[in-house]
Amino acid sequence: MANFKLVVANPKDGKTTAYELKDKQAQPLLGLKLGDVFDATVLGVQGKIKITGGSDKSGVPMRQDVHGAVKKYVLLSKGVGLQTIEFGQRRRKLVRGNVITEDTYQVNAVLTP
């Protein structure tokens, strides 16, 4: 019973479209990683879709360099999941791994030709 909100950006016209995927439509996304490309015919659109990011139900962002479907605290100095900090400062933040699971709420993606 996976439910996702798939937000697809179209770089040609600069618009984004949100799709609500439930059960059967969401099954092909389970197990995919950030950076993977899949066919857009699931949504009824021409082309391919590249997964660029996402978050879970509580708003914890997915991060490319955290492997697996886990939620863990990582020491960050820059990048996804970290607001601006002073030079040289690092923070331990909670982030989610790079695999899409049933806990994922929103998946961000880009439409590629």
SS3 letters across 65-100: CCCCCCEEEEEECCCCCCCCCCCCCCEEEEEECCEC
DSSP-assigned beta bridge partners for residue 91: 76
Check if the beta carbon of residue 74 is closer than 8 Å to that of residue 66: yes
Q: Which domain holds residue 93?
A: 3-112
Span 60-81, average pLDDT: 95
Span 78-92, average pLDDT: 93
The predicted pLDDT at position 44 comes to: 84
Domains held by the chain: number: 1
32 residue type, one letter: L
Q: How confident is the model at residue 15 (pLDDT cuts 50, 70, 90)?
A: very high
Span 79-87, average pLDDT: 91
The predicted pLDDT at position 110 comes to: 97
The predicted pLDDT at position 1 comes to: 76
- Give the tens place of pLDDT for each residue, 89-112: 999 999 999 999 999 999 999 999
